Amino acid sequence: MGSNHNNSMSNIIVLGAQWGDEGKGKIVDLFSDRFDIVARYQGGHNAGHTVYIGPTKYVLKLIPSGILRKGVLAVIGNGVVIDLAALVSEMDQLEAAGIDVASQLAISNRAHVIFPFHRMVEKMSEAREGRTSIGTTSRGIGPCYEDKIGRRGIRIADLFEADSFGPLYDTLCEDKQTLAKAFGIHETLDYAEIRRQYETIAERIKPLVRDTSWLLNKSMREGKRVLFEGAQGTMLDIDHGTYPFVTSSSAAAGGACTGAGVPPTAINGIIGVSKAYITRVGAGPFPSESLDAMGDLIRKRGNEFGSVTGRPRRCGWFDVPLLKYTAAVNGFDSLIITKLDVLDELDEVPVCIGYKINGKLTTDEMPATNRGIESIEPVYERLPGWKTETRGVTDFDKLPDAAKRYIDLLEAQTGVEVGCVSTGPERNETLVRPGSKLSKLL
């Protein structure tokens, strides 16, 4: 239930500190009962945020995870890109699960719309010979953001102005057809039918469409608390990630302000979510990747398969320099370490504590190019494993000593407090450390 706390530590951003899939959905769901609003600020249905409520599993893609709490308003901000068909399909699923979507969802009138031709355009860069394939989720995310930045995109508000929507749509379709021809993509899309379908969906969602920036600012002035839910992760951020192996939006903390239309001064806390190890889906450099049996063990125990595409996630070890880099970019007040229980069986747990670049040791430098990142020689420290089950532990003091030492090392090496540890996928399988900065932000 929305809390309506009127305290100064009101609004927080919860975002991924690695390459996505850190467990943001679980954490946002867990904390959302202390907030009135949960807002997404970037990305689209490339995200897959898993939430377990008892045995029931939900995978939120486009709609903020907060919608699962009665009375919490879920806001899709202006920085998000919206595939209308994906949106209504997700709305239907949630409604079927008994959620009051009509009264709990608000959609920005300034968000850009993904059309089926955006997915077609994505094939141009992903499947063509001689091009670097990023291993995207094939959801049309990148091409939609291209149109946004190219100032030819179509926004939700445009759907309701028939006079301007028609010509905008026709021009965009012409562009795409020309491109498809030039690039030899033979895909027949029924542009008139897509338009009719989108107009029908637009009528359906019309009551939910708002100026969400105005709504958020007004709500915050009234003392309501907002949690901003990041999608993807900082290393997938268009500016700060491992470019070009990134997504096309601003996943880092700064993106919350532009992507929701709220001033930086409205933000009181920034929480980074990180696995106790690290994973990556898709292509791109990955210094601490484990390609041996240990990586396979983590994939199996951690069930590391994409929640959107089902692809096996690449697995590796906690990377301190990477975390220090994302902590600097975002200004983390606190870190949440998830999936500690996945490491329970290991004899020893490697941690990448430094990078050797051209023979020189560094702990807080991230090369800008792929070649630079690929040239990194990770330096590992191997900590003893705890070989004890930690699943469901809710008190830091009850963790095995070796697990405590592991968390202490991550805290000391990254310079950010670990305010919370997640020991299982469910809400109650979590420990928040009393007296932590995080506990004060909640």
Active site residues: 21, 49
Going residue by residue from 6 to 45, which x/- string records binding to Mg ion, judged by CB under 5 A?
---------------x------------------------
51 contributes a contact to ligand IMO by CB under 6 A: no
Partner from ligand IMO, ligand GDP, Mg ion, none binding residue 342, C-beta < 5-8 Å depending on class? ligand GDP
139 contributes a contact to ligand IMO by CB under 6 A: yes
341 contributes a contact to ligand GDP by CB under 6 A: yes
Q: Which is nearer to ligand GDP, 172 or 281 (CB)?
A: 281
Partner from ligand IMO, ligand GDP, Mg ion, none binding residue 137, C-beta < 5-8 Å depending on class? ligand IMO
Residue whose Cβ sits closest to ligand IMO = 282
8 A C-beta contact, residue 239 and residue 22: no
The answer to whether the Cα torsion of 249, 254, 256, 260 is positive or negative is: negative
Three-state SS for 274?
Answer: strand
**CA dist., res. 414 & res. 286, Å (int):** 18
Between the CA of residue 75 and those of 36, 206, 219, 225, what are the distances in Å? 11, 14, 12, 13
Three-state SS for 227?
Answer: strand
- Please tell me what DSSP assigns to residue 385: P
According to the 3-state scheme, what is the secondary structure of 9-57? CCCEEEEECCCCCCCHHHHHHHHHHHCCEEEECCECCCCCEEEEECCEE
237 contributes a contact to ligand GDP by CB under 6 A: no
**CA dist., res. 436 & res. 135, Å (int):** 38
Between the CA of residue 117 and those of 120, 126, 190, 226, what are the distances in Å? 5, 14, 10, 34
The size of the interface with ligand GDP (CB under 6 A), counted in residues, is 21
Given 13, 17, 94, 134, the residue binding ligand IMO (CB under 6 A): 134
Given 5, 52, 135, 215, the residue binding ligand IMO (CB under 6 A): 135
- Dig out the tokens for 161 from the structure: 């102005």
**CA dist., res. 204 & res. 217, Å (int):** 26
Nearest Cα neighbor of 435 from 334, 318, 351, 322 is 334
- Dig out the tokens for 427 from the structure: 């809400």
Task: Tell me the closest approach of the beta carbon of residue 23 to ligand GDP, in angstroms.
Answer: 4
- Dig out the tokens for 209 from the structure: 């469409």
- At position 375, the amino acid (one-letter code) is S
Given 48, 259, 287, 316, the residue binding Mg ion (CB under 5 A): 48
- Please tell me what DSSP assigns to residue 417: -
141 contributes a contact to ligand IMO by CB under 6 A: yes
Going residue by residue from 358 to 377, which x/- string records binding to ligand GDP, judged by CB under 6 A?
--------------------
Three-state SS for 155?
Answer: strand
232 contributes a contact to ligand IMO by CB under 6 A: yes
Span from 16-24, 66-74, 89-97, 176-184 in contact with ligand GDP (CB under 6 A): 16-24
Q: Which is nearer to ligand IMO, 246 or 353 (CB)?
A: 246
Task: Tell me the closest approach of the beta carbon of residue 304 to ligand GDP, in angstroms.
Answer: 8
8 A C-beta contact, residue 65 and residue 28: yes
Partner from ligand IMO, Mg ion, ligand GDP, none binding residue 139, C-beta < 5-8 Å depending on class? ligand IMO
Span from 42-50, 94-102, 104-112, 162-170 in contact with ligand GDP (CB under 6 A): 42-50
Going residue by residue from 182 to 221, which x/- string records binding to ligand IMO, judged by CB under 6 A?
----------------------------------------
Given 108, 247, 414, 430, the residue binding ligand IMO (CB under 6 A): 247
52 contributes a contact to ligand GDP by CB under 6 A: yes
229 contributes a contact to Mg ion by CB under 5 A: no
142 contributes a contact to ligand GDP by CB under 6 A: no
Given 10, 11, 42, 46, the residue binding ligand IMO (CB under 6 A): 46
**CA dist., res. 312 & res. 306, Å (int):** 6
**Helix ranges restricted to H, 71-157:** 84-96, 101-104, 116-126, 141-149
8 A C-beta contact, residue 366 and residue 322: yes
Span from 46-54, 104-112, 118-126, 276-284 in contact with Mg ion (CB under 5 A): 46-54
